[in-house]
Amino acid sequence: MTTAHPKSVCVFCGSRFGTNPAYKAAAHETGTAIAQNGWRLVYGAGDVGLMGEVANATQAAGGEVFGVIPVHLFEREVGKRDLSSFIITENMHERKKVMFMNCDAIVVLPGGAGSLDEFFEVLTWRQLGLHDKPIYLLNTDGYWDKLVALTQHVVDEGFADASMLDFMRVVDKPQDIAADLQDLWR
């Protein structure tokens, strides 16, 4: 007999807090919203930066947390062991695959190169028809404005169909994501 899991939201985000305090606040609100809706957080299992903030907020609100971390980042990202589920992978590719396979939606908070890599991989998979999971860019204080402009430029220059832009939903607040997912998952 298998145990059914609640709907799961994968959050890709920075292992740092960034310079704007609004990023940390948005991570906290995201984690709280995930728990308050009875969803499970799937994330990179770190206890630092925005990753740690979203996980701690989810836990504080009583939510389930599924963490996945590669062995080489365990100490650097301070692998958070007090999670509902915790997996250590051999590498980054396996980490992304496990996170993706265990979620129903993807949310990208502010972050660096790793978050961009994760975003573009799931966006590419969606563009290729490999999944139909919703992908959200949480555009806290306009953080992703230049990325959104870049994706429009890619379309304008003929390197992608305009449909690619429909595969990502750009929102300003965690509450917008929660409301949208509530509608989708009814």
The predicted structure's pLDDT at residue 178: 96
Query: Token match 């929102």: residue?
Result: 171
The predicted structure's pLDDT at residue 76: 63
Per-residue pLDDT of 19-53, as tens digits, reads 999 999 999 999 999 999 999 999 998 889 999 99
The predicted structure's pLDDT at residue 88: 85
pTM as predicted: 0.93
CA distance 178 to 141: 18
Confidence of residue 1 (pLDDT cuts 50, 70, 90): very low
Per-residue pLDDT of 142-179, as tens digits, reads 999 999 999 999 999 999 999 999 999 999 999 999 99
Judge: domain 11-184, CATH 3.40.50.450.
yes
CA distance 79 to 7: 24
Q: Please report, for the chain, the start and end positions of each structural domain, with discontinuous segments joined by +.
A: 11-184
Per-residue pLDDT of 78-128, as tens digits, reads 666 777 788 888 888 998 999 999 999 999 999 999 999 999 999 999 999
Single out the residue of 11, 10, 3, 9 nearest to residue 109, CA to CA.
Answer: 11
Token pair in block for residue 131: 């999944």
Token pair in block for residue 174: 């965690």
Token pair in block for residue 29: 């609100």
Q: DSSP 3-state assignment of 106?
A: strand
The predicted structure's pLDDT at residue 112: 97
Per-residue pLDDT of 52-75, as tens digits, reads 999 999 999 999 999 998 888 766
